[in-house]
Amino acid sequence: MLTLKQSRRLNTLVVGLFAWAVALLLFFPIFWMLLTSLKTEIDAFATPPQFIFTPTLENYLHIQDRSGYFKYAWNSVTISFGATALGMLIAIPAAYSMAFYETKRTKGTLLWMLSTKMLPPVGVLVPIYLLAKQFGLLDSRAVLIIIYTLINLPILVWMIYTYFKDIPRDILEAARMDGATLLPEMLRVLLPISKGGLASTMLLSLILCWNEAFWSLNLTSSNAAPLTALIASYSSPEGLFWAKLSAVSTLACAPILIFGWISQKQLVRGLSFGAVK
């Protein structure tokens, strides 16, 4: 017979082994992508797949002259940061006023904002495409910045709203007693308290913009194409360079993966519209 302690330890061991097996299985495609990026093209295409091989950094070293990686990466960076900055600028005041000056309509407004996320992008693909064409914005970074700002705005407002709601109102009351007016109140009192929350909101926005792949595929071709579009170009039959594809993909995903690992706890709040913390 096992003692209680022994059976607990056995239980932990079994649960642990099982959890590790599931985790490794789910992570395998990412691991395999990383491994393939270190192979030569011949090793990458070998049958059966090679687990042991001489690693090479060649794919990474030639990433720029083979795919013009940095142009796409720079597009991704400017579009993501541009849309995030613009989104924060519009969302912070809205969240501020809804969190601290709640009216009868506040809840309705918040839910309505959420409901705009239900609008499927294909429903407005045609007019947005034609409008972009009309204004000469096809294949421009500006159009993606505008669209990403708008599609992420509801999430930003919700997320900042939940952070602001957690701030004790006494602090703002005290600041007001000291004669603080609107702008200084926001800048001097509110922003320092909520900077952690605002940072995670920005991180979430960056992740969503970086990975967006409907509008970037439909509205850009070469000039403004971000990394999502560069990688999609490898889907054509002549693009069957697995090792290079893997290297480009690894580089494109690494920063977001690291962002995600760092901020997993905070992301839950934003992704669940504040319902799960």
Partner 1 sequence: MATTTTALPKAPASNASPQPAERRRPRLAPSWFLVSPSVVLLLLWMLVPLAMTLYFSLVRYNLLYPGEKDFVGLENFHYFLTDAGFIPGMTNTLILVGSVLLISVVLGVLISALLEAADFAGRGIVRVLLISPFFIMPTVSALVWKNLIYHPVSGILAAVWKFFGAQPVDWLAQHPLASIVIIVSWQWLPFAILILMTAMQSLDQEQKEAARLDGAGPIAIFWHLTLPHLARPIAVVVMIETIFLLSVFAEIFTTTSGGPGYASTNLAYLIYNQALLQFDVGMASAGGLIAVVIANIAAIILVRMLGKNLTEKY
Q: Find the binding residues for partner 1 in span 195-254 (CB under 8 A).
A: 207, 210-211, 213-214, 217-218, 227-229, 231-232, 234-235, 240, 242, 245-246, 249, 252-253
Among 57, 61, 85, 130, binds partner 1 (CB under 8 A): 130
How many CB atoms neighbour CB 230 within 10 A? Answer: 22
Number of residues that bind partner 1 (CB under 8 A): 110
Among 7, 18, 196, 222, binds partner 1 (CB under 8 A): 18
Stretch that binds partner 1, among 16-24, 57-65, 67-75, 195-203 (CB under 8 A): 16-24
Minimum CB distance to partner 1, residue 263 (Å): 10
| CB closer to partner 1 out of 141 and 160 | 160
Task: Report 29-88 residues binding partner 1 (CB under 8 A).
Answer: 29-30, 32-33, 36, 44-49
Stretch that binds partner 1, among 57-65, 77-85, 197-205, 267-275 (CB under 8 A): 267-275
Among 62, 66, 176, 188, binds partner 1 (CB under 8 A): 176
Stretch that binds partner 1, among 57-65, 187-195, 197-205, 263-271 (CB under 8 A): 263-271
| CB closer to partner 1 out of 110 and 141 | 110
| CB closer to partner 1 out of 1 and 276 | 276
3-state secondary structure 200-218: HHHHHHHHHHHHCCCHHHH
| CB closer to partner 1 out of 99 and 141 | 99
Is there binding between residue 121 and partner 1 (CB under 8 A)? yes
Minimum CB distance to partner 1, residue 29 (Å): 5
